[in-house]
Amino acid sequence: MSTLVIVESPTKARTIRNYLPKGYRVEASMGHVRDLPQSASEIPAAVKAEKWAQLGVNVDADFEPVYVIPKDKKKVVTQLKDALKDAEELILATDEDREGESISWHLYQLLKPKVPTKRMVFHEITQDAIKKALKNCRNIDEQLVRAQETRRILDRLVGYTLSPLLWKKIAWGLSAGRVQSVAVRLLVNKERQRRAFHEGTYWDLKAYLEQQKNPFTAQLVTVAGTKVATGSDFDPATGKIAAGRNVVLLSEEDAVALKERLTDKPWSVTDVEERPVTRKPAPPFTTSTLQQESNRKLRLSARDTMRIAQNLYEQGYITYMRTDSVHLSDQAIAAARSCVEQLYGKQYLSPQPRQYTTKSKGAQEAHEAIRPAGSTFRTPQETGLSGREFAVYDLIWKRTVACQMADSRQTQITVLLQVEDAGFRSSGKRIDFPGYLRAYVEGSDDPEAALEDQEVILPSMKVGDRPDCKDLEAVGHETQPPARYTEATLVKTLESEGIGRPSTYASIIGTIIDKGYTQLVNNALIPTFTAFAVTDLLEKHFPDIVDPSFTSKMEQTLDDIAEGQVAWLPYLRDFYLGDKGLETLVREQENQIDATKARTVELENLAAKVRIGKYGPYIEVENGDGVVTASIPKDLTPADLDPKQVEVILRQKTTGPDQVGRHPETGEPIYVKIGTYGPYVQLGDKSDENPKPKQASLPKGVTPETVTLEMAVGLLALPRTLGVHPVTGGKIQASLGRFGPYVVHDQGKEGKDYRSLKAADDVLTISLERALELLSEPKKGRNSSNGKSKAALRELGAHPDDGSPVNIYDGPYGPYIKHEKTNVSIPEGQSVEDITLSTALELLAAKASTTKSTRKTSKSTSSRTKSTAKSSTTTARKKDTKG
C-alpha cells in the first residue's frame, strides 16, 4: 500500500519522484481529465435534444456545466483509478493556480476516492520545496475552483454564441472570444491608424566636427532662435506641421542653402551641461514580462516561451511560470546576492536587498516571481541545458541576479554650439559605473556589447571652445506610420489595459494567428481583411464585447468572484439572460445583420469594394461590362491597399499580365503576375501542351514595376548550379525559397546543407567562391539561439532497417522525432525524456502507414467529403478558445 500523488505531466512526475520518500507513487493526469464538450460527438445522448446542448452549459438550470471525459483521456482516467485501488492516501499535486486547482477538483470528482485526500502545492520543484509542501497540505479551494469554472463558462457562452453568427454572416470557421476579439480589435485599430497616416517630409543638417583632433557629430536644432521641425511636430492625420507648433520646416532647398551659407563659418561652444542619471534594475520576471522580453530578445512567440518555461519548471530549473507577482522570497534574494558577489564582486551588490511589490490588483497566481529554482542558483552554464531552453533559463537567471545589483550611474552630456544664426546640439553619455547593466541589459543578449553601444563619448569641451567643422550634410527625413504590434507590445498593452490574464496571452495570440485574423511577418502582427470584417461587425452590433474598458471591468468582476466579493450566478444570469444579455442581443441583432455588408470591408479613400469570400478576400468593382473581381494577394496588407494597388490587380485580371519581354533563347513571352502569395514572373502561356508554365517569385524588395527582362530571365533560371564542392564533390546551387535567397550543398546521403544569403549577396550573380564562404560559416537555424549548428536534443540510436540515426530535435512547434526525411511530433503529454528508441520506431511506423493510406484514399474521399460537408457543418462545433 502506498500514497498516490497525481500531477499533470510525466516530466513533472519524474522530477517530483526524486524528492518523495519511499512508498509514494507518482502518476500524471496529462492535463485536464474533464472539460465541456468540444464537438457534437462528445455531447451526451441524454442532453442532445436540449436547446442548450451545443453550449455544453445548461443556461436554464443555474448554468450547470456538462462535463465529459475526452476520448484521449479515458485511458488515463482508467489507469489513475487502477492506481488508486492500491493507495491508502491520495495527494493531488497539480499546479498552484486556478487551472491547477480546477484539475485537482475534477480528478477528485471523477476518482471519487474513499481514502484520505490532500491538496499539495508548491511553486518550485526542489527537494526542500517538496518536503515543505508535504508537511503543509490543505483541502481543495472550492472558491478558486468556482472562479475558474465561472471563467470557463463565460468564455464558452461568448465563444459559442457569437462564433455561429460569424459563420453565417462572414465565413465558416471564424471564432469570437471574450479576450480574443478585443486583441484583434487592437490590431485592426493600429492598421486603421496606418491607413489614415499621412507622411510628412522634413530636412535638417548634420555636422561632422573635431575638437583637438577628436571627432564628434552635432545636429541642427534652431535657426534664428526658432526650433527646427522634427518628426514629433507633424500631425499624422494631415502630414503637415501640427497646429500651434512654432517651428521652422526646412525643405531640401532650404537645407542645402543653409549648408552653403554655414560652410567655412566659425563655430563656438555656447553651453555644456553634464547631468548625472541613476538607473535601477527592472524587477524579476512575471508571466507577462517574460513573454515580452523573450519576444524582444530571443524572437520567441508567447506560445513557445510558455512551453519552454513549462519544461524548465517541470524539470526543476525555475519556479512556477504563471505568476503576476514580482515578489522574491528571502531565500531567492540571498541566492541572487551570492551570485552577484561571486561573479561580479561586492561593489556590484545593491547596498540593501531589493524587494519588489506587485502593483496589479489582480495578482492571484503564484506567490513569487519567475526565478531560478532552489536556495542556490545554478549559472546557465552549470545546467547542461542547450538551445532555446538554455536561452530562456539564461534570460531568467540574468534578470533575477540583476535585480539585486547596484544601480547604474551614468552622466548625460549635452553640448550646444552656434554657427552664425544656427544652433546645433551634440549629445553624449558616459557610463560611470555599469552596476546591474554588467549582467543584464533589456532588449540585448550581450551586456558587454550593449554597454559599449550605449556609451557615446564626446571630447572634453567648455564654453568658448571653437571646434573645427570638417563637413556639413543635408539630411532628409520622412515621418513613419505608427508601428504595428509585436507579440511583446500586444502582451504589454493587454496587461496594462487589464484585458485577460497573462497566463492566457500565449493561447490567445496563438488562436488569432491560427484562425487567420493576423499574420506574423518579421515579428509584426498584421491583421488580415477578415479581422477587419469581424471587428466591424462586432463594433456595430456588439460594441461591449470589443470594448477594452468593458472587458477590463469583466476581468475585475471575475477576480472579485474568486475573492468571494461577488456572487457568480447572478452575474452570469445578467450577462447572458438579462434584458441586455448576450443571448437576447444576438437574437435581436441577427436579423438586422446583412451578410453581404458583413462580408464587405469598408476602407477609406478606396472606391473598390473589399469582400471576404470562400477562398479569401477579393476586390470587386463595377465597370462598363459588369462586375469584375480579383483576389487580393496574401502579402498585401490592409494598410497598403490603395487605389494604385487596386488598379494593378484589376488590370491583370481584365487586360492580362504585363509582359516584360521575350526569353532570349526560347522566344517565349515573360509575364509579371500577382498571385495569392505575391508577385512573380512566368515563362510562356498556360495551355494544354504547357499546363504548368515555369514561375519564380520576386525577391524581397523587388516590385513588379522594377522587374527587367534580364532579372526575369535570371529568376526563371533558378536554381543556378554554381559548381561542385572541392571536398565532397557535391553540387552547389543558388536559389530562392520561402525564407528568401539561399545556397545549398547537396551532400548525398548526408542530406542538404543550406545557408541564407546576406543582404549584400545577389542570388543571380553569387559566385562559387562566395557560396563556399557562406557554407563554411556555422549554421544559424531558426531554432538555434547561439548560432551553432542545430544539435539533437537526444540521440535515440540507429534505425534497425537502414542504420540511419533516429534523433529528437526542437522545432518551431515543439520537439519532434526525425529519421531520414520522416518527422513525427512527440505526443501530447509526453516529454523528450519519455521517448525511447522503440517508442520512436512505433511512432515513425504509424506516421509512414498513415501517409500511405492517405495517398490511397485521397481521391475516393474527396467526393464523399463534398457531399457530407453540408450536413456536418450543422452539427459540428469548433473548439472554443480561452478568452
- Cα first-last separation, the chain: 43
| Residues near 253 by beta carbon (within 8 Å), at least 6 away in sequence | none
* DSSP letter, residue 517: S
Amino acid type, 768: L
Please report the beta strands in 676-730, taking only residues with DSSP state E, as ranges in sequence order: 678-683, 695-697, 720-724
Separation CA 339–CA 333 (nearest Å): 10
Kindly give, in sequence order, each residue whose CB lies less than 8 Å from that of residue 722, ignoring residues fewer than 6 positions away.
732, 733, 734, 743, 766, 767, 768, 771
Kindly list the distances between the CA atom of residue 717 and the CA atoms of 434, 461, 676, 680, 827, in Å, as whole numbers in the listed order: 54, 60, 22, 13, 42
DSSP letter (8 states) at residue 608: S
Residue 667 — left, alpha, or beta (φ > 0 → left; ψ -120 to 50 → alpha)?
A: left
Q: Which residue has the cell 498571385?
A: 675
Closest CA to 151 of 564, 552, 557, 510: 557
How far apart are alpha carbons 157 and 880 in whole angstroms?
Answer: 9
d(CA 599, CA 48): 32
Q: What is the DSSP string of 773-788?
A: HHHHSPP--TT-SSSS
276, three cell numbers:
548625472
- Is the omega angle on the peptide bond into residue 570 within 30 degrees of 0, that is, cis? no
Helix, strand, coil % over all residues of the chain, rounded to 5: 40, 25, 35
Beta-bridge partner residues of 795: 807
SS (H, E, C) 787-805: CCCCCCCEEEEECCCCCCE
Q: What is the Cα–Cα distance from 558 to 776, expressed in whole angstroms?
A: 57
Q: What residues pair up with 372 in beta bridges, in sequence order?
A: 318
The conformational region for residue 387 under phi > 0 = left, psi -120 to 50 = alpha, else beta, is left
Whether the CB-CB separation of 121 and 539 falls below 8 Å is answered with no
The alpha carbon dihedral of 815, 817, 818, 821 has a sign of negative
Strand partners, 553: none
- Please say if 320 is a catalytic residue: yes
Distances (CA, A) of 277 to 413, 506, 726, 817: 10, 36, 57, 52
Instruction: Please tell me which residue in 160, 320, 517, 742 is annotated as part of the active site.
Output: 320
Instruction: Give catalytic residues, as residue numbers.
Output: 320
